[in-house]
Amino acid sequence: MNYNMVGDAIVKHCGGLANFIHVTNCMTRVRMTIADPSLVDMPALKGIEGVLGVVEDDTLQVIVGPGKSSKVATVINERLKGAPAVDTTLSGVEQKAKLAREKAKKQTRTKVILKHIANIFVPILPALIAAGILMGLNNVVVNSAASWAMSHHIAAVGDLSPTQVVLDQRHLLGVSQFLDIVSKALFGFLAIYAGITSAREFEGNLILGGLLGAITIMPQVTTLGLIPGQGGLIGVIFAVWLMCLLEKQVRRFVPDIVDVVVTPTVVLLVMAAAQLFIIMPAAGVVSNGILHALNGLLEHGGIAAGFVLSALFPFLISLGLHHGLFPIHLEMINATGHAPLFAIQIMSNAGMVGAATAVLLLTRDPVMKKIAKGAIPTSILAVGEPTIFGVNIPAGFAFITGSIGAGFGGVMIVLLGVSTNGVGAAGLSALPLIADGKYLQYILAWLVGCAAAFALTYVVGKVRGYDKEMA
């Protein structure tokens, strides 16, 4: 892909540089805050070579695929830095942006909440994936050593446990300790990172947001009858949201000359007290309730729950809401060490790959064939957006049949008892995240979801005459 050409084309079809307010990216999408949406040429934007799809929301999201979104976003941001200031149109741009924000407020409250949570976790996601994979690799090494130590009756030596003795014999003890340090540096301080990105999302002081997150994981909270991490990330996000509201109100009344001293002090004092004595206990009750409800659903809902949850997840991806469930996954890992819901949901990847493969074989459109050939390997290895937006949604029926096929993958996940001890990755890159060494079971579930989606899509495509349609 020529990133400069794609970036320039996006700028052109979005109304020029003056129409951009903010540009960022996630794993697969360039996310743009546009001042005047009426200036965006959607057909032309979707027609740019390399663009897999476009999602219209409070931000305009152009899907270009993993590894490409950051490069395209960088090109656009470089153009924005070099653009001359246009003072005469600034007020008009701000007014249009305000109207866009007012329009966004009319969305359902649930959707708004999920979008905020998604925006909070998008910057953390690359680190989550990397640390999760490293943790998974370390688990493979440690579990293998533990199994060997148990079966061969290895005894402890000095300060080394039997497992560590085996690791040392294999010259892997240092490697295991290194991987453990790196992964725990992410998961052990995730409350701080979430506090910082929450403050950015809600337009408050970033370090104060991180400080509120740090308070929740301090060992000293036990002296107040609390448990470190109680309330999880849900409590942190809620506390930072309140902090940002309070910070804005305090600044209205504090004189400028003492603002830098008084405002952060008052905000920290009030919010730290609220965090420790109200939010953490209350969020703990909410988190426990959510976990019990989900565990009950998975335990009593069985394969039906697995089918429905996997089949619905592609729709969350298509709306850009899928990252909104990360606090739940992470809280499940924090409480039980496993995230069974995440294992169910990433079966959507299998369904989308199966459906896209069927479309590749059925279509007579050379452009669609080219897109599918590029999207399918990417989705097998990692994320499903390329096949969702580049192949299955344009084909129409394939998105539905792919989602149904994903449901069968979810059924297998439940039947085989597959779970994860990390989040973020999908497809084959999720293998290191699979808990309890159930790698073959995960692959089997993935293949079942893929095969079911392929069969459904191929049959429906034949019945609909999709294989006879010309470009």
Instruction: Please provide residue 295's backbone torsions phi and psi, each rounded to the nearest 5 degrees.
Output: -65, -35
85 band by pLDDT with thresholds 50, 70 and 90? very low
Residues 117, 22: one domain?
Answer: no
Residue 26 designated active-site: yes
Contact yes or no for 72/118 (Cβ under 8 A): no
Give the distance from CA 191 to its chain's centroid: 16
164 band by pLDDT with thresholds 50, 70 and 90? very high
What pLDDT, on a 0 to 100 scale, did the predictor assign at position 375?
83
Residues 166, 101: one domain?
Answer: no
Residues 359, 396: one domain?
Answer: yes
Please report, rounded to a whole number, the percentage of residues in the chain having pLDDT higher than 90.
38
One of 14, 26, 244, 450 is an active-site residue; which one?
26
Contact yes or no for 139/421 (Cβ under 8 A): yes
Domain boundary among 164, 187, 210: 187
99 band by pLDDT with thresholds 50, 70 and 90? low
State the Cα–Cα distance between residues 35 and 24, nearest whole angstrom.
15
291 band by pLDDT with thresholds 50, 70 and 90? confident
Residues 68, 178: one domain?
Answer: no
Q: Give 282 or 101, the one with higher predicted confidence.
A: 282
Q: List C-alpha distances in Å: 414 to 318, 349, 439.
A: 24, 16, 14
Q: Please give the average per-residue pLDDT across 351-376, as a whole number.
A: 89
Residue 160: strand pairing partners: 157
Domain boundary among 187, 209, 231: 187
User: Above 70 in pLDDT, residue 443?
Assistant: yes
Give me the residue label for tokens 């909270």: 221
Do the domain assignments include residue 78?
A: yes
Contact yes or no for 403/335 (Cβ under 8 A): no
Q: What is the pLDDT of residues 303-319, one digit of tens each?
A: 999 999 999 988 887 77
What pLDDT, on a 0 to 100 scale, did the predictor assign at position 436?
86
Do the domain assignments include residue 192?
A: no
State the Cα–Cα distance between residues 34 and 19, nearest whole angstrom.
6
Q: Across the beta sheet with 60-63, what order do the strands follow?
A: 20-25, 29-34, 60-63, 53-56
Residues 42, 127: one domain?
Answer: no
Residues 439, 370: one domain?
Answer: yes
Instruction: Please provide residue 146's backbone torsions phi and psi, each rounded to the nearest 5 degrees.
Output: -65, -40
209 band by pLDDT with thresholds 50, 70 and 90? very high
Do the domain assignments include residue 67?
A: yes
Residue 449 structural domain: 337-468
Closest by CA position to 427, among listed 133, 31, 142, 190: 133
Do the domain assignments include residue 34?
A: yes
Give me the residue label for tokens 């490069």: 71
Q: Please give the average per-residue pLDDT across 103-122, as a whole number.
A: 72
Residues 44, 100: one domain?
Answer: yes
467 band by pLDDT with thresholds 50, 70 and 90? confident
Rounded to a whole number of angstroms, the distance between the first and last alpha carbons of the chain is 23
Do the domain assignments include residue 213?
A: no
What pLDDT, on a 0 to 100 scale, did the predictor assign at position 320?
66
104 band by pLDDT with thresholds 50, 70 and 90? low
90 band by pLDDT with thresholds 50, 70 and 90? very low
Contacts 24+ apart (CB under 8 A), 138-142: 138/176, 138/179, 138/180, 138/183, 139/421, 139/432, 139/435, 140/432, 140/437, 141/167, 141/172, 141/175, 141/176, 141/179, 142/167, 142/176
User: Which tokens belong to 375?
Assistant: 């999207």
Residues 98, 139: one domain?
Answer: no
Residues 102, 118: one domain?
Answer: no
Residues 464, 346: one domain?
Answer: yes
Closest by CA position to 163, among listed 139, 182, 183, 136: 139
102 band by pLDDT with thresholds 50, 70 and 90? low
Q: Other C-beta atoms within 10 Å of 98: how many?
A: 11
Average pLDDT, the chain: 86
State the Cα–Cα distance between residues 97 and 33, nearest whole angstrom.
8
Do the domain assignments include residue 237?
A: no
User: Above 80 in pLDDT, residue 6?
Assistant: yes
- Amino acid found at 252: R
Residues 131, 42: one domain?
Answer: no
Do the domain assignments include residue 375?
A: yes
109 band by pLDDT with thresholds 50, 70 and 90? confident
User: Above 80 in pLDDT, residue 387?
Assistant: yes
Domain boundary among 139, 164, 187: 187
What pLDDT, on a 0 to 100 scale, did the predictor assign at position 95?
52
Instruction: Please provide residue 53's backbone torsions phi and psi, each rounded to the nearest 5 degrees.
Output: 175, 170
State the Cα–Cα distance between residues 26 and 197, nearest whole angstrom.
14
What pLDDT, on a 0 to 100 scale, did the predictor assign at position 431?
86
Listing DSSP states for 324-346 in one string gives: GGHHHHHHHHHHHS--HHHHHHT
Q: Please give the average per-residue pLDDT across 217-237, as a whole number.
A: 88
364 band by pLDDT with thresholds 50, 70 and 90? confident
What pLDDT, on a 0 to 100 scale, did the predictor assign at position 89?
45
Q: Please give the average per-residue pLDDT across 7-35, as a whole number.
A: 88
Residues 115, 41: one domain?
Answer: no
- In this prediction the pTM is 0.74
Q: Please give the average per-residue pLDDT across 39-56, as a whole number.
A: 86
87 band by pLDDT with thresholds 50, 70 and 90? very low
What pLDDT, on a 0 to 100 scale, did the predictor assign at position 86?
46
| Domain count for the chain | 3
Closest by CA position to 391, among listed 464, 320, 453, 308: 453
When mean pLDDT is compared across 123-127, 194-198, 245-249, the lowest value belongs to 123-127
Q: List C-alpha distances in Å: 189 to 22, 124, 176, 350.
A: 28, 12, 20, 32
Contact yes or no for 406/310 (Cβ under 8 A): yes
Do the domain assignments include residue 129?
A: yes
Instruction: Provide the phi-psi class of 231: left if phi over 0, else alpha when psi is between -120 and 50, else beta.
Output: left
Please report, rounded to a whole number, the percentage of residues in the chain having pLDDT higher than 70.
93
